[in-house]
Amino acid sequence: MSVTDKIIKIIAEQAVLETSDVTMESTLEDLGIDSLGLVESIFAIEEEFDITVPFNANEPTNSDFDISSISKIIEGVERLLKEQAV
Amino acid sequence: MKRVVITGAGTINALGHSVADTMTAMAEGRCGIGPLAFRDVGRLSIQIGGQVRGFEAEGRYNRQQMSLYDRFTQFTLAAAAEAIAQSGIIFSGEMAAKSGVVLGTAGGGVSTWDDNYRSVYEDGKNRVHPFVVPKLMNNAAASHVSMEYNLKGPSFTVSTACASSNHAMAQAFQMVRTGMAPTMVTGGSESMLCFGGVKAWEGLRVMSKDACRPFSANRNGMVQGEGAGIFVFEEYEHARARGADILCEVAGFAMSSDATDIVMPSKNGAARAISGALNDARLNPEDVGYINAHGTGTAANDKTECAAVADVFGPHADKLMISSTKSMHGHLIGGTGAVELLACIMALRDGVIAPTIGYEEADPECALDVVPNEARDAKVDVVLSNAFAFGGMNAVLALRKV
């Protein structure tokens, strides 16, 4: 499964939606994922890819990880995978 | 001062998943204690407990709820659903704004601590689930009950070890009695039956390896249990006006502190709580027909408790009945007073006195009528429920037939 597919699966599960309902342009808000759901999604991403996502729930827009859309999240994860590759 | 009655009861414990099943088991003198089943149990020297069986959280709660509900919260919500359904109250408007939930627990989310410590220490993981804190906090169960049932009044959690539930119910009682709240959801829960929870108790060397035999000369310690007991306390006129089924009246309570030792019980502290509850309820010692004992099955508790009862009741101590249902459901620690309140309700409402099972040998230091091994039919009008905690914190409730 590609990085994109894995992330879409994680987000869809969190939003209790079909993976087909999650598009590149979707925002977490569109999908009904609240702040607790966001933190849980980030945890699931960290577990899935064995990476550390720099994210502080107190200042979500000021983190080094862009969560403004699904495509941004995928980009961010791909960057972290490169940076944190052992 | 307003009168306070109980209009809803719910439970889950080793004897049953409902009040009816639990009372049937108590009346039959059934033992819910058996071999423990959970991860790493083989490394424990204590292998028995009053574990809740056949309770599948999966299916009962959705994925999101599961990530937030420790087992002690799951038990609480199951018992609260039964109690609130029985009361028939839908919380809205002024009722919702003024009614709250006060619960007792000693350990809160013990298995959440246990699982996550195991994960970071033993398995070497460096990341835990984001909800570990809201899942393990001691007030999680009370919070989820408040959210589930729209209870917006005073809500909090009381933690006084083995007296937690009695302290919580005493507090809820006081709130309704003073008119602060028209109804309160109260009781308590505990779920310490996991590796770390039992291991901690093992350290104290007060646990029995074979059975809980309160008041019996050959008793050799306590046995842990788990579960929850939840009640709806309601102002009497409010309950009558809506034609509610009243289970019994909460007539009074008292709390005391031994101020002596962190684990050894004190006769004086216990006696002051018992006599205080009688005074608060304006009852005479002769009015009391049954006492649900703290009766842990330890050498120290049972003889101290019997001596305290003898002191307070004088000659009447030989006429009243006193039993410990911990022999059947185990010691639910912070939830124990709540489940034991069911034996009090059964005594008042059904005229059935739950027995002390496992009783084998008379102990001259516990020379009271402990209702050995078989339940008894008896009409009683007033009962007490004792709870004496580690730390010397005692809470006794007095209940009356309505």
Low-confidence ranges of chain B (pLDDT < 50): none
Active site residues of B: 162, 294, 331
d(Cα B374, Cα B358) in Å, to the nearest integer?
Answer: 10
pLDDT higher at A72 or A62? A72
Q: Which residues of B touch A38 (CB under 8 A)?
A: none
**Nearest chain B Cα to A38, which residue?**
B130
Residue A64's pLDDT is 84
Mean pLDDT along residues A33-54: 94
Pick the CATH number of A3-83 from 1.10.510.10, 3.20.20.140, 1.10.1200.10, 3.40.190.290: 1.10.1200.10
d(Cα B385, Cα B340) in Å, to the nearest integer?
Answer: 7
Mean pLDDT along residues A8-12: 97
Chain B: closest CA distance from residue A71 (Å)? 23
Is this prediction's ipTM beyond 0.90? no
Q: Note the pLDDT tens digit of each residue in B283-325.
A: 999 999 999 999 999 999 999 999 999 999 999 999 999 999 9
Query: Does the pLDDT at position A60 exceed 80?
Result: no
Confidence of residue A84 (pLDDT cuts 50, 70, 90): confident
Query: Does the pLDDT at position A86 exceed 70?
Result: no
Tell if the CB–CB gap between B127 and A40 is shorter than 8 Å.
Answer: no
CATH numbers and ranges of domains, chain B: 4-241 (3.40.47.10), 252-400 (3.40.47.10)
Helix residue ranges, H only, chain A: 3-15, 35-49, 70-83
Domain boundaries, chain A: 3-83
Q: How many residue pairs from chains A and B have C-beta atoms closer than 8 A?
A: 16
Residue B63's pLDDT is 85
Q: Which residues of A touch B127 (CB under 8 A)?
A: 43, 46-47, 52
pLDDT higher at A61 or B154? B154
d(Cα B264, Cα B262) in Å, to the nearest integer?
Answer: 6
Helix residue ranges, H only, B208-320: 236-241, 267-280, 299-313
Pairing of strands B288-292, B382-389: parallel
pTM of the model: 0.95
Name the residue among A67, A65, A7 with its Cα closest to residue A34.
Answer: A67
**Contact at 8 Å (CB) between B272 and B260?**
no
Chain A: closest CA distance from residue B191 (Å)? 25
d(Cα B368, Cα B83) in Å, to the nearest integer?
Answer: 33
